[in-house]
Amino acid sequence: MYPSDRKTLAVGVFIALIVIIGSVASGKNIPTSEKEKKKPSPITDVVVEAPGYTESGYTKEGETTPVNLALQDLYLAELRVTLTWEDEPPRNRLFVNEPDTFRIELVNSEFNISVVSDEVSNPSGGEGSITLRANFTQEDAIKMYGSGNWTVNIVMVQAGNQHRVGLIHIIAFVDPGNAWSLNVDVWAWQERGAES
Ligand SMILES: [Ca+2]
Ligand SMILES: [Ca+2]
């Protein structure tokens, strides 16, 4: 190999290196959002209602009943969770059944989501109700698509006992817990190609 050939080779390697370094650097400089724009989003801006859930059950005082929601096939836009309950009627007119207190939690452990309601007591002799709402951006919906980890926890905080009218501190009958109804309304970002 002649000295002049070596020089040519060295220059060639040097140019190749510049090209490689240049392409890596320009790749890094492209903002993520611009890269994403090149790929069409799987969803549109339209929000559509999806099938909801209705469940009922009974939870003892101090216990939690988890209800799993199968939402993996949706690009979630909004979840609205409503718990309703009615305390048992008192034994007779001489008794009062003190209100029961619930709390609900909407949880997705995979995405560190935990929306917790206040603790709510039913009005004496009336129906208690708690509603939790969670909204998700299109970006979040795309990230969470496919997650099967949605759970609503129904927490029976306290069941107020029955006592004789006027004798608040003397328990006549222990209230062990309460029945409830759960309703989950679901809205999702419409999938591209599903427009009617
Ligand atoms: Ca009660
Ligand atoms: Ca009760």
pLDDT at 15: 44
Please tell me the number of the ligand nearest to residue 87's CA: 2
User: Between residues 7 and 150, which one has the greater pLDDT?
Assistant: 150
Q: Is the pLDDT of residue 140 over 80?
A: yes
* 162, 96 contact by CB (below 8 A): yes
Measure 151 CA to ligand 2 centroid, in angstroms.
24
Tell me the mean pLDDT in the region 150-158. 98
User: Between residues 97 and 31, which one has the greater pLDDT?
Assistant: 97
The span from the CA of 130 to the CA of 65, in Å, is 15
The span from the CA of 81 to the CA of 186, in Å, is 9
Please tell me the number of the ligand nearest to residue 88's CA: 2
Measure 160 CA to ligand 1 centroid, in angstroms.
4
Measure 97 CA to ligand 1 centroid, in angstroms.
5
Measure 176 CA to ligand 1 centroid, in angstroms.
8
The conformation of residue 62, written as its DSSP 8-state character, comes to T
Q: Is the pLDDT of residue 155 over 50?
A: yes
Please tell me the number of the ligand nearest to residue 179's CA: 2
Q: What residue has token string 């492209």?
A: 30
Please tell me the number of the ligand nearest to residue 85's CA: 2
Give the length of the chain: 196
The span from the CA of 195 to the CA of 43, in Å, is 10
Mean residue pLDDT across the chain: 86
Measure 174 CA to ligand 1 centroid, in angstroms.
8
The pLDDT-based confidence of 193 (bands split at 50, 70, 90) is confident
First to last CA, the chain: 71
The span from the CA of 53 to the CA of 80, in Å, is 10
Q: Is the pLDDT of residue 190 over 90?
A: yes
Token pair listed for 93:
């007119």
The pLDDT-based confidence of 37 (bands split at 50, 70, 90) is low
pTM score, whole prediction: 0.78
Q: Is the pLDDT of residue 19 over 50?
A: no
The pLDDT-based confidence of 124 (bands split at 50, 70, 90) is confident
